[in-house]
Amino acid sequence: MKRGRYFMKRLTLFQQAVIILLLLLIPTVLIYSYSNYVTEQVIIDDIHSRNMNRLDVSVNQLEADLDQISQFLMALSIDSDISSLRNIELYSPYEKVSLKEDVSEKLRTYQQLSNLLVDVTIYMPNNESAITTMPVFPDLETPLANSWHYVADENNRDNDYFIRHVRYPLNNVVIGNEVIIEARVYTQSIRNHLDDLVTTNLNNAFLFHQDFGVITTAETDLSITETINHHMINQNGTLNIHHEGTQYLVSYVQSEALDWILIDVFPLDELLTPVYKSRNFLYASVVLMILFGGLSGWLLYKKIHIPIRELSLAVQRIKRADYAVRIPVGHNNEFHKLTQGFNEMAQQIQTLIEQVYEEKIRSQEASLKLMQAQINPHFLYNCLFYIKNMAKVQQTDAVEAMALHLGQYFRYRTKVEDEKTTLNEEIDLIDHFLSIHALRKKSITYSISIPKEMYSLQIPSLLLQPIVENSIVHGIEPLLGKAYIRVTGTITEQCNMVTIEDNGNGLSASSREQLTASLEEKEVLQEGYGMRNVHQRLIKKYGGLSGLYISESELGGLKVEIKWQEINDEE
């Protein structure tokens, strides 16, 4: 619960509105989808039940008609006239004709009373004669069929029929001549029976046998019968199948008398069209709701979220000292006065800050120019005295070198119009400065190792020279032996750094701590505090990790690291 509240607090107003809209739509869609599913299942189950009842009734009726024919055959087999036919050769010609006519009349009468299209034939094999309701005397089908058996007419499938035989005597013990009674039920009467099952223009009913195919009143796709046969697992049942992109509802019942399966096929897509239309209408409504919700969210985002975000970003920029920020004033809405008031407040703050900054900048510029104008007379006198002595002994090369380095050094020191410079120019300055001291004192050596990619870095003027001068004056001048100064530069992910080290006497740990603490004092223009000036300028300019870091050098003396972070000049 707490996590949920925390999560919602982190979301914007626009995101919360979108989530609420989804929380309203998703349950609605789920509930209606479930209701639609239940409706489909109820309809399908009802169709299944009704179709199975219809098929059961139809199969029972068909089997009752076939059973009636079978009983008629049994009745004929024990009829007295049929018994007389077995000994017909004992009768006179007139009696023979009269007997055959009586039997034919009985056959025609039953043919008219039967619900199915049927032909009955009585064979007398020993007399090589027969009595039939057919226009042409048929040949006796062999072997004899004790149950209903399907016979296909290869020439005309409309003449296909089911056949059954009854032999007299019934116990198959021949006492004199035997009589064989045959009934043929034509598939046309089966088709008429199937017509009663076709209640609409959509469904199709047919008899199916995997060996003989189908008996139907209309054209039936044989591929769908293969699909149905593949899915049937019981003699009776229902199933849903998909065939060629259409969903079908199939009900089937097997006829025990014929050993054929009565099948009813109904396209569910046609039946469920109203349900699908209702479902599609809901989905269309949901899409419209999403569109209108998205439009509402967009208006909420544009009219409320964007102004709030702009106001928040503007406040953040004010916190970063960007007092020139202004929010565009939109139409006359709820945020008009708020943005207008913020702009007026920012304008007043900027005016006040600019006035204070101008005074501070003028003070800093004056401080820098004063520091640049400070020239150590003792250093200048020593250089001039060196030139005088070298000239006296006619060391013109030394005079030329000293004059060149001294001129370049003071040209840079007296250039007061620029507050910023490049690291390359600062390196040139300390190179001239160290060269002057190396000429004056042969025991001083130095090395400068700065990566070329650092040469173009912009830094404040006179950043390195005070540190180098401090290293010479307080570090190596009191040294009697060889003196060495090393200047190196590195670039890290956090900052840029120039390190100045010497092999002088160094400082104790307590003295280094005092020196580090003195760097944080605010008075920056007192004489002899060059390192503090540099440290304060770095902090004011770059902030963060920028400044001077003092430690013991592996050379034996003091190690001063000058660090500054890159900043965007536009900020």
Q: CA 317, CA 393: separation in Å to the nearest integer?
A: 66
The pLDDT score that the predictor gives to residue 8 is: 52
Q: Could you give the C-alpha distances from 50 to 53, 56, 238, 507, 557, in angstroms and in order?
A: 5, 10, 11, 107, 107
Q: CA 250, CA 224: separation in Å to the nearest integer?
A: 11
Tokens read off for 466: 């005070």
List of long-range contacts for 58-61, beta carbons under 8 Å, 24+ apart: 58/193, 58/196, 58/197, 58/205, 58/253, 58/262, 59/253, 59/254, 59/255, 59/262, 61/193
User: pTM (2 decimals)?
Assistant: 0.47
Q: CA 524, CA 84: separation in Å to the nearest integer?
A: 151
CA torsion 166→169→174→177, rounded to 10°? Answer: -80
For 393: left if phi > 0, alpha if psi spans -120 to 50, otherwise beta; the answer is alpha
CA torsion 47→48→49→53, rounded to 10°? Answer: 100
3-state secondary structure at position 558? strand
Yes or no: say if 180 and 122 are a contact pair by the CB < 8 Å rule.
yes
Tokens read off for 92: 């006179």
The pLDDT score that the predictor gives to residue 570 is: 43
Single-letter amino acid code for the residue at 554: E
The pLDDT score that the predictor gives to residue 528 is: 41
List the domains of the chain with CATH numbers. Answer: 51-266 (no CATH), 276-362 (no CATH), 374-564 (3.30.565.10)
The pLDDT score that the predictor gives to residue 373 is: 46
Q: CA 539, CA 141: separation in Å to the nearest integer?
A: 119
The pLDDT score that the predictor gives to residue 487 is: 93
Q: Which residues of the chain have pLDDT under 70?
A: 1-14, 17, 125-128, 170-177, 199-202, 218-222, 330-334, 354-378, 413-418, 522-529, 567-571
The pLDDT score that the predictor gives to residue 527 is: 42
Cis, bond preceding 143 (omega within 30 deg of 0): yes
Yes or no: say if 571 and 320 are a contact pair by the CB < 8 Å rule.
yes
The pLDDT score that the predictor gives to residue 202 is: 67
The pLDDT score that the predictor gives to residue 449 is: 92
Q: CA 191, CA 162: separation in Å to the nearest integer?
A: 13
The pLDDT score that the predictor gives to residue 128 is: 66
